[in-house]
Amino acid sequence: MRTPNLLDDALTNKTYVNCQQNDIPYSIKHRNAIQQVDEFINRPAISNLLSTCGLNNKIQYHYRKSQCKWYLVMKFADKDITAIATNKRLIISHNK
């Protein structure tokens, strides 16, 4: 497998690191999927909603092999909230 040039761009770097953390090989398919999640959470309405959750202190991408899907999990400790985003959906819940 060819290792991507991590200096190409931040998205490639982020994807490579998250693939390693999820114990899966890097591929352009994963890069594109993470990009779609990022584009979703950066939509103005979604971004504004997330900003009301407080300061996030932990952000992690998780890959579900059974669903072939990437999830972005954001924890907001100051308000005890967890938000989970995919490329099409956002779920926000209190941790109590």
Give 21-62 pLDDT, tens digit per residue.
Answer: 999 999 999 999 999 999 999 999 999 999 999 888 899 999
CA–chain centroid gap for 73, Å, is 6
In a domain, 45, yes or no: yes
In a domain, 1, yes or no: no
In a domain, 72, yes or no: yes
Residue 95 pLDDT > 70: yes
CA–chain centroid gap for 14, Å, is 10
Asked whether the CA dihedral 29, 18, 83, 96 is positive or negative, the reply is: positive
In a domain, 29, yes or no: yes
Residue 19: CB atoms within 10 A of its CB come to 19
CA–chain centroid gap for 96, Å, is 23
* Cβ atoms of 72 and 37 closer than 8 Å: yes
In a domain, 19, yes or no: yes
Residue 78 token pair? 């100051």
Query: What is the domain count for the chain?
Result: 1
Model pTM score: 0.87
The whole domain housing 22 covers 10-94
In a domain, 69, yes or no: yes
Q: What percent of the chain has pLDDT over 70?
A: 92
In a domain, 5, yes or no: no
